[in-house]
Structure 1
Amino acid sequence: MKKLRLYCIHTTTLVLFLLLTNCSDDNNSNTNTPDPNNELAEEYYSGGKLGTTFNTTPYAYEQPTPAVEESSEMSLQFKYGEAFFENPYLTNTSGMRHGLGPAYVRSSCITCHPGYGHGKRMEQYRSKDYGNGYLLVVTDANDNYISQLTGMPQTQAVAPFLPPIDESGIKIEWLNHTDEYGNQFPDGETYSLIYPEVTIDRSAFNVPMPDYYKVRLEATIGIYGTGLIDAIHDDSIIAEYQRQKSLGYTLNDAKYQPENFIKEVDGTSHPGRYTYGLTRGTLQNGPGANAIWNITNVTRSDRRYHYITEAYAIAMSKNTDIQKALGQTEQEIYDYLMSKELTPEMTDEEYINFMVWHRGLAVPAARNLDDPVVQQGKKKFLEIGCASCHRPSWTTAADDYAGDPMVKGKLPRYPYQKIWPYSDFLQHRLEMVNNIRTGWCRTTPLWGRGLSQKCTGASDHLHDMRARNYTEAIMWHGGDAKFAKQKYRNLSKEDRDALIKFLESI
């Protein structure tokens, strides 16, 4: 599938663009499907027959699924939805993509998700830098979010408002780490490990802060294939949890108790499957449905209020410079910031298009699985226990969950597909220096990651992008995964390299 953008309707321009795209596509895209008689054919379809793209260009993460392409209506909606992901929101009070602010995290989604993949490792926190997918995690001593800030703290604002955090006061320092093996394999090969130390000057906060706070980074994850994850039945997730518990694995048990499931807008409750913290249970009310609102602070009909805290509203309304600039009283400013009846800035149609796009993103097909070295690497991946957490395959259910009434019956579906995400979608402990918030982290799907350098310009790994390659990512693993890590360490260099080549192929 070619990368097509339909951002204007000028016929001559569109025809010329399509011609140019067609001319270049043959040279850059691999559209050959595997031989159906090949025993590996099934696994080449990482997203199943309805969810896999065989595009291997730098646009591989951006392709629509075959389920979308089967419908001319959805294909058009996909392109319009894509525009809302790729283009920045504006501070205008009307017009296309208007309504940014008053405080916001980013002005566009793609800034955080370069090439639709993971964010890049950064030396500085500058939210307008393309590829900076970092979100600040500011917590107290008990790992609870600081209530004066939103869960995704904002570092940008529309004048005359001030951001809750001034970016100039954020500092990222990358420190070297020496592990228990001295950063060396038994055969003498060495590796290096780094991790971020993040601080925020107290003077950078424009809201009152407690005496103690700490800061961590969490990077954005790849968004391709999220609709296929959505199509896995809740019972399958719970069954995998119960299977691993019976084997003695250490899991975040609280996440799998029905009383702690995530309540959705339609009144149903579901176990988490999205985000590092498993804070979202379905895509219909999941990451994208929230992010298009809370990252940009653009309102819509079902969210007619700002993504801010009362502490922020109080601080801004009491600021005399803001009062003077707006010509409004403290009470008027406070009432505006805390209003629950704001005019929707994103139309329902735009939101539906966005969600069709979000659930319609394909997964790149696996590559080179019949290569003897890749097969050797897969064998070692299974032998040393990596698949205990990075479960290779799942089968989706009927995929008939109705979900958010606004998108009910309007999104692409993926019933009964065998998919290969290489994740159990459960939370395990990482046990790393400057650990992720709470110490629990969802197993990251590995599918498509081998194309990250080509699609995003970087190939960093883990929740804060501390690992610059697969080897570093493996050697950072702790908790139950440390046993597989030890076995990886004791492999020959030939087997280690083969395992990495396998990871690059899925």
Structure 2
Amino acid sequence: MIVQSIFSRRLHRLILAVGAAVAGILFSTLLHLPAQAQAPQSGGDTTIYMRSSQAYAQPAPNLDDYWDERHAVGDLAFEAAFVTAPANVNPGLGPLFNNVSCVACHFNNGRGLQEKGQRVVRVSQLGAEKILPSDHPYALEAVAPTANTSPVSGLGTQVQEQGIYGHPPEGALEITWQEQTGSYGDGSDYSLRSSQLELTYFDGSPIPDGVVVSNRIPLPVFGLGLLEAVPEEVVLAAADPDDFDGDGVSGRPNWVWDVEQQADALGRFGWKSNMPNLLQQSAAAYANDMGVSNPMFPAENGVEDIDLEILDAATAYVQTLAVPARVSVDDPKVRKGERLFANANCAACHLSEMRTGTHKVPALENQMIHAYTDLLLHDMGPELADNRPDFQATGEEWRTPPLWGLGLSQTVFPYSTYLHDGRARTLEEAILWHGGEGAASREAFRTMSESDRMALVAFLKSL
């Protein structure tokens, strides 16, 4: 059955790939460009020419047979829905969880919504010890030796909003949205929304004083293998913690705990770069989001619901996903927007290119990529702050999110929103929320003419 399922998926992907290739040729012809010449290729040789709802869900086209097979097996793991033990297939859900599968949070591999079952609610207790309290019913939320996110009594460090039969969820979150208005430099108005959070225990009782709550939406998962393959020295070379160049931007790395190596490592993944690699990212998601114990995060009694083979397969899947190509690169409006993006100093954080180094997946090696991130932390000001430190990230710092594929966000998953808590309904709103190191770029955008603002947004949508 597994072989048949893999064959069916590979045939389906082949049909999609052929259709995408034909569409790419027709699209290029219409633009009087040679096929596959819409440079720069966002993901290097992993780039795929597809702009449909499945654009984030394709294998990199340059995978060899071995890794193409690994991708197909990982696809099954990524879509596997877990159930309560005992069961013949995929047992191990819970007892506390947020959702039942990877794809349930990352629909079509895109960003998630600010809804129960998709959002991730991180919490920590100010001034408490870094030990999971004895009254916490679930022990997979491992606390790293160097972490500064002290668990909350009865909640741990991540709130699980669902539970299997006999295990009530840990907490209940109510979100109310507040609107605030502002004006562009030309006098036209805009409206921004922000969230107000009310977190209680599931029975309605209040949480303790001094608890910091960070409400986040899932990030897209394509192209992550390429970001993992960027050499550490390349990331560190872009850091400027003391702002020596005087541009007001002072990105810095987050050093986090590598569970496998039992040592500090460069953080790359997550909203605050609190994960060092994709294996640990996957293992933590299984444990915290689905309650599925694994070799990296076993249950307190040593039980592992999935083995290393499944964990490796799910990791290989996200490592080997293709990156969708840019479009309309010869459009004068898009070209103008790209210049305005650079002139507003947006590229100081959203670096236009990086080169990958070595990686166990050969297809990811030595690729010039255009992810529009520096993988560094930046102070984004008090209005975007969650006030929750995470290793060396402060409560006002966030990792620069990659912008590649940004124009497909709502094609892949309608009603997708932006920023860490999904507050921004449009790209314009996302820009207008920038503060701190991004304040000057925000003001440059806010004071542009309407045609210039539209051009800059057109550039972002072309990515």
TM > 0.5:
yes
Superposition deviation, residue 398 in structure 1? 2.5
In structure 2, what is the equivalent of residue 136 of structure 1?
121
The answer to whether the Cα contact below 8 Å between 1:374 and 1:499 also exists between their aligned partners in 2 is yes
8 A Cα contact 1:475 1:485, kept in partner: yes
Of 425, 428, 431, which residue of structure 2 is paired with 1:471? Answer: 428
Map 1:222-301 onto structure 2 (within 5 A): 222-242=220-240, 245-248=243-246, 249=248, 251=250, 255=253, 260-267=255-262, 269-285=264-280, 287-301=281-295
Which residue in the other structure is 1:453 paired with?
A: 410
**Shift in Å at residue 301 of structure 1?**
3.6
Structure 1 residues 144 and 186: CA distance shift in structure 2, 3 A: same
Cα deviation 1:163-212 (Å, max 9, x = unaligned): 222x3xx211000123xxxx111223221100110102356369x95334
Separation (CA, whole Å) in 2 of partners of 1:74 and 1:134: 31
**Amino acid corresponding to residue 454 of structure 1 in structure 2:** T
Residue 26 of structure 1 and its aligned partner are, at CA, apart by 3.2
Conservation of the 8 A alpha-carbon contact between 1:173 and 1:197 = yes
CA drift of 1:112 comes to 1.6
Distance 1:115 1:199 in 2: 30
* 2:198 match: secondary structure: strand
The 2-side partners of 1:500 and 1:114 are apart by 24
Distance 1:107 1:19 in 2: 25
Q: CA deviation at 1:98?
A: 1.4
Question: What residue identity is the alignment partner of 2:319?
Answer: R
1:342-353 alignment runs, 5 A limit: 342=303, 344-353=304-313
Q: 1:58 aligns with which of 53, 57, 61?
A: 53
User: Secondary structure of 2:103's partner?
Assistant: coil
Give runs of aligned pairs for residues 253-402 of structure 1, distance below 5 A. 255=253, 260-267=255-262, 269-285=264-280, 287-305=281-299, 338-339=300-301, 341-342=302-303, 344-399=304-359
**Structure 1 length as normaliser, TM-score?**
0.77
Structure 2: 5+ residue stretches without partners: 128-147, 389-394
Shift of 1:262: 3.3
Structure 2 CA distance for partners of 1:10 and 1:371, relative to 1, 3 Å: closer
**Structure 1 residue 484 displacement after superposition:** 1.1
Larger radius of gyration: 1
Contact 1:251 1:426 (C-alpha < 8 Å) held by counterparts: no
Preserved contact between residue 126 and residue 210 of structure 2 (Cα < 8 Å):
yes
The aligned counterpart of 1:174 is 177
Larger deviation: 449-458 or 266-275? 266-275
The change in CA–CA distance for 1:446 and 1:177 in structure 2 (over 3 A counts) is same
Displacement of 1:425 in angstroms is: 1.2
Residue 110 of structure 1 aligns to a residue whose secondary structure is: helix
How far is 1:453 from its partner? Answer: 1.0
Shift in Å, 1:66:
2.3
Query: Normalized against structure 2, the TM-score is what?
Result: 0.84
Classify the secondary structure of the residue corresponding to 1:376.
helix
Partner of 2:40: 44
Shift in CA distance, 243/66, structure 1 to aligned 2, threshold 3 Å:
farther
* Matches of 1:454 and 1:203, distance apart in 2: 35
The answer to whether the Cα contact below 8 Å between 1:431 and 1:479 also exists between their aligned partners in 2 is: yes
How much does 1:431 deviate? 1.8
C-alpha change, 1:14 and 1:478, in structure 2 (3 Å) is closer
| Structure 1 position 103, deviation (Å) | 1.2
What stretches of structure 1 of length at least 5 have no aligned partner? 1-5, 128-132, 306-337, 400-408
Q: In 1, distance between residues paired with 2:122 and 2:380? A: 17
Q: Residue 269 of structure 1: CA displacement?
A: 4.0
Q: What displacement does 1:100 show?
A: 0.5
Aligned 1:195-234 pairs, distance under 5 A: 195-202=194-201, 204=203, 209-234=207-232
Q: Equivalent pairs: percent with the same residue?
A: 26
Query: What per-residue deviation string (whole Å, max 9, x for no partner) do you get for residues 145-166 of structure 1?
Result: 543323221111122222222x
Equivalent AA in structure 1 for residue 177 of structure 2: W
Q: Report the Cα distance in structure 1 between the residues aligned to 2:293 and 2:411, rounded to whole angstroms.
A: 34
CA–CA distance in 2 between the matches of 1:41 and 1:243? 38
Corresponding residue of 1:421: 371
Q: Is the 8 A contact 2:100 2:290 kept in 1?
A: yes
Aligned length, in residue pairs: 431
1:494 is aligned to 2:433: no
Choose which of 5, 8, 30 in structure 1 pairs with 2:23: 30
Query: Residues 24 and 482 from structure 1, CA distance in 2 versus in 1: closer, same or farther, beyond 3 angstroms?
Result: closer
Q: Write the letter of the residue equivalent to 1:177.
A: Q
> Counterpart of 1:126?
116
Match for residue 430 of structure 1? 380
1:48 CA displacement: 0.7
* Equivalent position of 1:321 in the other structure: none
Distance 1:467 1:108 in 2: 26
Return 450-459 or 219-228, whichever deviates more. Answer: 450-459
Greater Cα offset, 381-390 or 110-119: 110-119
The CA distance in 2 between the partners of 1:152 and 1:291, in whole Å, is 11
Of the three residues 154, 160, 163, the one matched with 2:166 is 160
Moved more, 415-424 or 425-434: 425-434
Higher normalized strand content (fraction of residues) = 2
Deviation at residue 140 of structure 1 after TM alignment? 3.9
